[in-house]
Amino acid sequence: MSDKKIVLSVENLFKKYHEKDDYAVEDINFSCYSEEIVGIIGQNGAGKSTIIKCITGIHPITEGTVKICDYDIKDDMLKAKQNIGYASDDHAVFEKMTGLEYLNFLADVYGVDTDTRKARMDQFQTYLNLGLAIERQISSYSHGMHQKISIMGALIHQPELLVLDEPLTGLDPQTVFAVKEFLLLHKKNGKTVLFSSHNLNIVEQICDRYIVINHGKLIEEKTLVQFKKENPNQTLEEYFLNLVIEDNKKRMIDSKQDGETK
């Protein structure tokens, strides 16, 4: 990775929501590079969304550092966010706008000129194909159409880092294929994609690297090339389930031993 630039750097990230709470995530360290797709995988409640919300500046960081293109999300939030595109799992968009109005609004926010935004919208339509629905109010959209307009909005300024939280949940096969192709295109354009997913088949298909989160901790980080070399007869899904089971067993043993020493 030495020949590629670091787009995202996460160092010693800790997050707790209330002072008396346990940490939701603790001591998270990883980087993402240009021309790379990275998948964050873990069970429900593992801490994936917390990490993503800390990276995007939605949640304040308790301890640690997050930098996007060398801009610290705490100290230089505006410049950091200018390099991020984010689509959440709850499709938080302006429902009363049409799709076209929404994209133009975000293009204005990010200072995208008229000709450039038109070219990008044409490209979005080629891959994600909202058709005439782009002129309809977003409140009338289906789940898949909401996902498409969210991703289009996240990409209107061609961010160095595209961050997606469960981008493929509940989508039909045709839409899943379209989103996959668009993520690969973003990578081909020299950019970086970081996304969380429960669909490990998709992670195995398109990611260059994966990160496993369990109980708020990073328990494994590996390239897909390395994974396939080490596990030629096993899917990522099978491997992941065994990895989490073993980590949970270890946690139970460690917890029991800690209890006995007190």
DSSP category for residue 20: T
Torsion of CA 73, 64, 1, 201, to 10 degrees: -90
- Our measurement of the distance from residue 29's CA atom to the centroid of its chain's CA atoms, rounded to an integer in Å, reads 15
52 and 65 co-located in one domain = yes
Q: Residue 35 half-sphere exposure, CB side, CA atoms within 13 Å?
A: 8
CA atoms of 216 and 190, how far apart (whole Å) = 30
Question: Which residues fall within 8 angstroms of residue 247, CB to CB, at 6 or more apart?
Answer: 214, 215, 219
Phi, psi for 230 (deg, rounded to 5): -80, -25
For 14, the token pair is 């800790």
CA atoms of 132 and 172, how far apart (whole Å) = 19
What domain range is 12 assigned to?
Answer: 6-83+159-261
DSSP category for residue 134: G
23 and 78 co-located in one domain = yes
Average pLDDT over residues 194-219: 96
Return left, alpha or beta for 228; rule: phi > 0 is left, psi -120 to 50 is alpha, else beta: alpha
Instruction: State the chain's mean pLDDT as an integer.
Output: 92
Residue 225 covered by a domain: yes
For 142, the token pair is 């289906």
Beta strands 25-33 and 6-15: pairing type?
A: antiparallel
CB of 202 closer than 8 Å to CB of 210 = no
Q: What is the pLDDT of residues 26-40, one digit of tens each?
A: 999 999 999 999 999
151 and 186 co-located in one domain = no
Query: Residue for token digits 């961050």?
Result: 163
pLDDT exceeds cutoff 90 at 104: yes
The vertex-87 CA angle with 100 and 147, nearest 5°, equals 60
169 and 79 co-located in one domain = yes
Q: Looking at residue 143, what is its pLDDT?
A: 86
13 and 78 co-located in one domain = yes
Q: What is the CATH number of the domain that holds 198?
A: 3.40.50.300
CA atoms of 150 and 86, how far apart (whole Å) = 8
DSSP category for residue 135: G
pLDDT exceeds cutoff 90 at 205: yes
Helix (H) or strand (E) holding 165: strand 161-165
Average pLDDT over residues 46-63: 95
166 and 152 co-located in one domain = no
- Report the b/e string of 10-38 with b at 16+ CB within 10 A: beebbbbeeeeeebbbbebebebbbbbbb
49 and 178 co-located in one domain = yes
Q: In terms of Cα–Cα distance, which of 5, 54, 18, 12 is closest to 218? A: 12
Q: Looking at residue 161, what is its pLDDT?
A: 98
3-state secondary structure of 23: coil
Q: Looking at residue 126, what is its pLDDT?
A: 87
Q: In terms of Cα–Cα distance, which of 173, 182, 231 is closest to 204? A: 231
Q: At what angle do helices 173-188 and 143-155 cross, to 10 degrees?
A: 10
Residue 1 covered by a domain: no
pTM across the whole model: 0.92
Q: What is the pLDDT of residues 171-185, one digit of tens each?
A: 888 888 888 998 999
73 and 97 co-located in one domain = no
